C-alpha cells in the first residue's frame, strides 16, 4: 500500500473522512501526538488499527469523541451509565484538551476497543484538525498513538511515515504537535479517581478542579496489577539505542555517547549534545522530547544519556516517559560512565 502525506485543507479532510468511512485508517494530528484513526464503533476498522500497529489485543484504545458532550455520548451508548459528577466537571474544565477519562463502557462500543474491559477511554482533543475531522464524521474515532507497538510516539507527519509507511493509505500533515507527549489518563471507573498515565494536565490541576485528591498509579503498583491499565507497561516508548538516565545533572560529555540535556544553561554546545529546551521551559521540553529521542536514536551511538528532569508541574509526565524509554541509570565514576540496568517487566 502506498502511504500518502497530505497537508491539511478542506479537501484533504474530506478525503480522510471518505477513507475512514470505507473502513480504512488515517493518521491525524492531535495536540499531544499523532493518532492512528479508524472508526471506533466499526469492528473492521478497529481490527485494522491493532494490525497496523502490531499492538496486542489486550491493550485498549482511546475513543476520540465527536463532541465534548458526555450526555450525547451516553445517549448514543458509546459510554455507559452512570457518568460521575467528576467526569462532568473534568470535561467542562479540560475539554477540548489532553485529558483522557476512563468511564463505564456503553453497549455501542465494541469489546475489541476496550480489550474486553467494562470501561472505555474517551477524550475530546484540542487540535483544530482533529476536531474538524471528528465534526465531519460525527462518530467516535479510535486513535492510539500512530507508532508501531512499543516505539516512540510520533509528533510530526514524517515520524508517522517512519513508523507506518506502507501500512496505511493517508497521513494528514498538521505540522508539529504542540504538547508533544500523550494525554493524561484518569480512571473515573470507581470512587477513587486515579491517574493511570501522567500528562500535561497535572494531578494538582485535576485535584483542584474536582475538590479532592487524585491518586497517581505508581509503576510498581502497575506491574502488580497490569489489568488496571494494560497499555502502561514500564518498557514502552523505547528507542532502539539503550538510554540511561543520569543520577545527577550531566557534566561530562565524552563521545561516542549522545547526550540529551534538560537546558542549555551552563551546558556546552557540542555535536553530540542536544537540549530539550534552551531556556529551561518544561513545556518546550515536553514538545521536543520525542523528536529529539527519535533523532538521537538514529545516530548509531552505543547509548543515549539523559539529564535528570527538574521539578515542575510537567516533571511527573516527562520522568514517566523518559523512565519508560530507559534501560537504567548512569553514574559518572572514576573518569567513566557506569551503567546500571533496570529490571523490565
Binding residues for ligand TXA, how many (CB under 6 A)? 29
The total of other beta-carbon atoms located within 10 Å of residue 207's CB is 15
Q: Of residues 169-198, which lie at the interface with ligand TXA (CB under 6 A)?
A: 182-183, 185, 196-197
Strand segments, DSSP code E, in the chain are 4-7, 26-28, 35-39, 62-64, 99-104, 119-123, 141-142, 170-173, 184-187, 194-197, 215-216, 243-246, 258-263, 273-277, 304-306, 328-333, 336-341
8 Å CB contact between 47 and 113 = no
Residues for the chain: how many in total? 345
Beta-sheet pairing, 328-333 with 336-341: antiparallel
- Comparing every residue's Cβ against Mg ion, the nearest one is 145
What letter does residue 176 receive in the DSSP assignment? S
Q: Which residue in 84, 194, 232, 241 binds ligand TXA (CB under 6 A)?
A: 232
Dig out the grid coordinates for 142 from the structure: 479510535
Q: Of residues 106-165, which lie at the interface with Mg ion (CB under 5 A)?
A: 145
Q: Which is nearer to ligand TXA, 178 or 207 (CB)?
A: 178
Residue 144 found at the interface with ligand TXA (CB under 6 A): yes
Q: Which is nearer to Mg ion, 60 or 316 (CB)?
A: 60
Residue 183 found at the interface with Mg ion (CB under 5 A): no
Q: Which residue in 231, 242, 282, 316 binds ligand TXA (CB under 6 A)?
A: 231
Q: Which does 283 bind (CB under 5 to 8 A by kind): Mg ion, ligand TXA, none?
A: none
The site map against ligand TXA for 54-93 (x = CB under 6 A) is -----xxxx-------------------------------
Triad 172, 177, 179: Cα angle to 5°: 150
**CB 303 to ligand TXA: min, Å:** 26
The answer, yes or no, to whether the previous bond of 82 is cis (omega within 30 of 0) is: yes
Q: Could you list the residues that contact ligand TXA (CB under 6 A)?
A: 30, 32-33, 35, 59-62, 98, 100, 102, 114, 117, 119-121, 125, 143-145, 182-183, 185, 196-197, 229-232
Amino acid at each position: 500500500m502506498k502511504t500518502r502525506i497530505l497537508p491539511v485543507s478542506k479537501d484533504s479532510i474530506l478525503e480522510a473522512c471518505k477513507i475512514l468511512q470505507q473502513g480504512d485508517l488515517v493518521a491525524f494530528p492531535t495536540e499531544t501526538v499523532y493518532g492512528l484513526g479508524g472508526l471506533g464503533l466499526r469492528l473492521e476498522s478497529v481490527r485494522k488499527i491493532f494490525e497496523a500497529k502490531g499492538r496486542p489485543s489486550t491493550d485498549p484504545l482511546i475513543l476520540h469523541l465527536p463532541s465534548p458532550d458526555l450526555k450525547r455520548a451516553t445517549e448514543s451508548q458509546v459510554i455507559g451509565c452512570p457518568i460521575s459528577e467528576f467526569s462532568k466537571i473534568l470535561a467542562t474544565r479540560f475539554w477540548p484538551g489532553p485529558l483522557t477519562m476512563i468511564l463505564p463502557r456503553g453497549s455501542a462500543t465494541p469489546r475489541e476497543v476496550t480489550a474486553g474491559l467494562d470501561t472505555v477511554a474517551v477524550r475530546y482533543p484540542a487540535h483544530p484538525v482533529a476536531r474538524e475531522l471528528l465534526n465531519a464524521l460525527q462518530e467516535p474515532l479510535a486513535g492510539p498513538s500512530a507508532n508501531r507497538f512499543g516505539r516512540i510516539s510520533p509528533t510530526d507527519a514524517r515520524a508517522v511515515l517512519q513508523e507506518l509507511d506502507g501500512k496505511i493509505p493517508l497521513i494528514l500533515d498538521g505540522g508539529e504537535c504542540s504538547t508533544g507527549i500523550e494525554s493524561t489518563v484518569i480512571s473515573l471507573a470507581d470512587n477513587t479517581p486515579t491517574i493511570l498515565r501522567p500528562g500535561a494536565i497535572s494531578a494538582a490541576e485535576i485535584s483542584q478542579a474536582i475538590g479532592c485528591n487524585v491518586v497517581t498509579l505508581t509503576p510498581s503498583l502497575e506491574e502488580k496489577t497490569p489489568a488496571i491499565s494494560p497499555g502502561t507497561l514500564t518498557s514502552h516508548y523505547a528507542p532502539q539505542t539503550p538510554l540511561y538516565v543520569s543520577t545527577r545533572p550531566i557534566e561530562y560529555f565524552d563521545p561516542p555517547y549522545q547526550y540529551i540535556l534538560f537546558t542549555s544553561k551552563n551546558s556546552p554546545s557540542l555535536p553530540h549534545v542536544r537540549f530539550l529546551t534552551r531556556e529551561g521551559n518544561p513545556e518546550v521540553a515536553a514538545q521536543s522530547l520525542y523528536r529529539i529521542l527519535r533523532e538521537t536514536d538514529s545516530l548509531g551511538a552505543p547509548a543515549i544519556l539523559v539529564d535528570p528532569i527538574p521539578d515542575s508541574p510537567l516533571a511527573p509526565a516527562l520522568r514517566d516517559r523518559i523512565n519508560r524509554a530507559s534501560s537504567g541509570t548512569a553514574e559518572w565514576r572514576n573518569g567513566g560512565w557506569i551503567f546500571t540496568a533496570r529490571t523490565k517487566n
